[in-house]
Structure 1
Amino acid sequence: MIRVLIIEDDLRIAEVNRRFVEKVEGYEVIGIATNGQEAKDQMEILQPDLVLLDIYFPDMDGLDFLSIIKEQFPTTDVIMLTAAKEVDAVVEAIRYGVFDFITKPLIFARLQQTLRNYQEFRQKVSDWKKDTDQISQTQIDELIARTGQKKTPETKAVKGIDQITLDKISGFLMQTQEATTDLVSKETGISRSTARRYLEYLVAKGDAIADLSYGVVGRPERVYKSVGRQK
């Protein structure tokens, strides 16, 4: 298991990020820090493999803390998850060696791809270390490329399914945990028939389950529930 620490001052967003991370097989969130002191304490105690780090905090600068991680915890990798899009912030984060920089609002498919890339990165390094203590130019190029330019089946085009719309509906369902076709239609601005098609697609993928809700009057209503990864 890859052990993850989330450093995010908004607890609601941190919880959504936790659910996103734990939907990806092979990951577990071992802590959530919402301020600078908690972040320092948990880094020292938990020694995570990977940190999901925001930039803006009331009591610290995320980029400053990134430099601390790189200096004091060199074996810990960092993925920036932030609303910051300034060129200087992105460049500085890259110079400090972040594995990836993802802007908010967070789209699950984008994070999922990065987490899978990170798994490949760690696995390649582990495999190479077993074979030899030296590395070829080709292997160096693979590491620099982050091993992550390949598309997974989830990101390939599916007829009648738009990835952006799918991400929007999937993200909404993750936050609400359950929703009806009418609710998804209202919140996303798409028709009921389109909402139902996307929700049924999520059920087919195993990312959601469907159940029936029996009201006082009228016919049963189909309710869709988000499915997190079971530990």
Structure 2
Amino acid sequence: MIPVRVLIIEDDVRISKVHAKFLLEVENFELVGVANSIKDGKEMAEILSPDLILLDLFFPEGNGMDLLYELRQEHSAVDVILITAARDIENLNNALKGGVFDYIIKPVFMDRFRGSLQKYENYLKKRNKVKTVDQEFVDGIFRDKALSSYEEEKRTLPKGIDPITLKDVLRAFEKAPSGGMSAADIGDLAGLARTTARKYCEYLLAIGELQIKLEYGTIGRPERKYISKKNNQ
């Protein structure tokens, strides 16, 4: 197999050297360049035409996600593995929408790094060995990628918070009235028990996605109403 040509775009020179060293230890991968800024990364991507970019997210002059979207808008065929310290669900979702092949959270360990590249190599072998596909072949490709995405998303969340359930809760808030909803209301919309819905709402409250409003009735404790900050802007 022809070596996979890889460009590293990482602002921290020390980390880029570590990733370059990791890359040299993986068979069938060739380092074609290292860029330490978004500007240099874009220019090198255009000149070198790599097969794969290992892309950081945070740069002093901007966000690596902007470069990812720019590459997609220009219909670049390069694949991207995002390597970042970002652990929030929003960046992960944006990365998935941008079509990244994998999402690795810093600090990067050799086993995880090697596993990602080997998975990418296997993907290329599957993709390149056929000219036409059947449903079984397509399902195999997407199943592998979906499992990888789910596993990576799960790693970014605290114990007990499932990414699929979290998305169901977020979708429920898209239907929320301006006055907010109780945990029971969210549970009904998302198909969850009230206690489960409340756990997810409290998590979203803790990370700043929701705000709380106490609604006082005639008797008893006030009811907690959860309001989406996005829907309330």
Same fold (TM over 0.5): yes
| C-alpha distance in structure 1 between counterparts of 2:50 and 2:75, whole Å | 9
- Specify the alignment match of 2:18 in structure 1: 16
* Structure 1 equivalent of residue 113 of structure 2: 111
**Quick check: which has more Rg, 1 or 2?**
2
**Aligned pairs (5 A) from 1:37-56:** 37-56=39-58
Local SS of the residue matching 1:75? coil
Equivalent residue for 2:137, pick from 119, 136, 139 = 139
Deviations 1:10-66 (A, max 9, x none): 011001001111111000110011112101110110010000001000112111111
Partners of 1:37 and 1:77 in 2: CA distance: 18
Counterpart CA distance in 2 for 1:45 and 1:55 is 21
One-letter amino acid of the structure 2 residue matched with residue 144 of structure 1: F
Give the structure 2 partner of residue 64 of structure 1. 66
How far is 1:147 from its partner?
A: 6.8
Q: Aligned residue for 1:127?
A: 129
Task: Please tell me whether the aligned partners of residues 114 and 148 of structure 1 are also in contact (alpha carbons under 8 angstroms).
Answer: no
Q: CA deviation at 1:138?
A: 1.0
Structure 2 residue identity aligned to 1:102:
I
Gaps of 5+ in 2: 149-233
CA distance in 2, matches of 1:71, 1:21: 28
CA distance in 1, matches of 2:8, 2:146: 22
Higher relative contact order (CA 8 A, sep 6+): 1
* Code of the aligned partner of 2:77: T
CA distance in 1, matches of 2:56, 2:144: 21
Q: Which amino acid aligns with 1:17?
A: H
Q: What displacement does 1:145 show?
A: 2.7
Letter in 2 for 1:2: V
Q: Judging changes above 3 Å, is the alpha-carbon distance between structure 1 residues 105 and 97 closer, same or farther for their aligned structure 2 residues?
A: same
SS at match of 1:141: helix
SS of residue matched to 2:69 = helix
- TM-score, scaled to structure 2: 0.60
Alignment deviations for residues 53-108 of structure 1 (CA, whole Å, 9 cap, x no partner): 01000112111111112222531000000001110000110111100000000011
Aligned pairs, number: 146
CA distance in 1, matches of 2:140, 2:13: 36
SS of corresponding position for 1:146: helix
TM-align CA RMSD = 1.7
Instruction: Give % identity.
Output: 36
Amino acid at match of 2:138: I
The residue that corresponds to 1:153 in the other structure is none
Tell me the distance in 1 between the aligned counterparts of 2:113 and 2:62: 24
